[in-house]
Amino acid sequence: MKLATWNINSIRARADRALDVLQRHDLDVLALQEIKCKPEQFPVEEFEAAGYEVAAHGLNQWNGVAIVSRVGVEGVRHEFGGQPGFTKGAPADGLYLPGEPEARAIGATCGAAPGTSGAAGGVEVWSLYVPNGRAVGDPHYHYKLAWLDALKQRAAERIAEDPQAKIALVGDWNVIPTDADVWDVTATGGLYLSQPERDAFFAFEEAGFVEVSRPRATNYTFWDYQQLRFPKNQGMRIDYVYASPALAERVSAVEIDRDERKGKGASDHVPVIVDFDL
């Protein structure tokens, strides 16, 4: 299975680019973040004409996630168990004000053979758009940490339930795990690379998951539109693929499509592509 994750920064503005990426890389599954539309606004017909199914989750013009697959999208879920939400306003207990879950996660099983389940039942793919955090100490920052902790707890539960489950947690994590993953550690004002954020990112290893892209590909995955960041290669790496043990051992190749950042109308992120030998 060839799977890619990409923060597309509006599917309606970049449907042609998404279709090109699907075909150019011969993808089986494409997990999208920041689709910025409701499901009924997603250009589904164009993808179906190319042989792909679409499962999308969006509530308004912000956030939004989707899974595009030519190998099935079964058991679609629009949030993971325990996923917290966020409400603007005075923070509760000095942290943040909870609310209804935002459109930041969508999960589905892809590649399942008819009548199969468990280890033989395909890959459980989650397209994830982790909250930005806005600034260290901001209520949204505490929401981000709570969101990551809840996801980690659910991921650990899934492995405990089925150690042979093939699970991919992919997307825009909005975390810079190490200083080597950003062009200038002072450029973000401390956000994305604070120790609590990094601890929350690496906690998935404690849950048994393996981040499979960093050891095999070294490019950044995001370059801001401002100040000629891309031509200067002043970027950061915030898009990742965490795989369960049974899936991580099946990685055969990883690619970061840096060229997708070029040209008119590019997203500020690029696809991270992983080949799994299933």
In angstroms, how far is the first alpha carbon of the chain from the final one? 6
Q: Of 95, 187, 194, 76, which Cα lies nearest the Cα of 142?
A: 95
Beta bridge partners of 182: 236
Task: Give the up-direction half-sphere exposure of residue 93: CA atoms within 13 A in the CB hemisphere.
Answer: 3
**Alpha-carbon span 33 to 6, nearest angstrom:** 6
Amino acid in the structure at residue 216: R
Q: Which residues contact 197 (CB under 8 A, 6 or more apart)?
A: 133, 144, 145, 148, 175, 191
Distance CA 80, CA 89 (A): 24
Q: What is the 3-state secondary structure (H, E, C) of 78-136?
A: CCCCCCCCCEEEEEECCCEECCCCCCCEEEEEECCCCCCCHHHCCEEEEEEECCCCCCC
The residue with tokens 């991270």 is 272
From the annotation, which residues make up the binding site for Mg(2+)?
7, 34, 172, 174, 268-269
Kindly report each contact of residues 80-85 with a partner whose C-beta sits within 8 Å and lies 24 or more positions away, as own/partner.
80/105, 80/107, 80/126, 80/150, 80/151, 80/154, 81/154, 81/157, 82/150, 82/153, 82/154, 83/147, 83/150, 83/151, 84/143, 84/146, 84/147, 84/150
Active-site residue list: 129, 172, 269
In the annotated binding site, the residues are 7, 34, 172, 174, 268-269
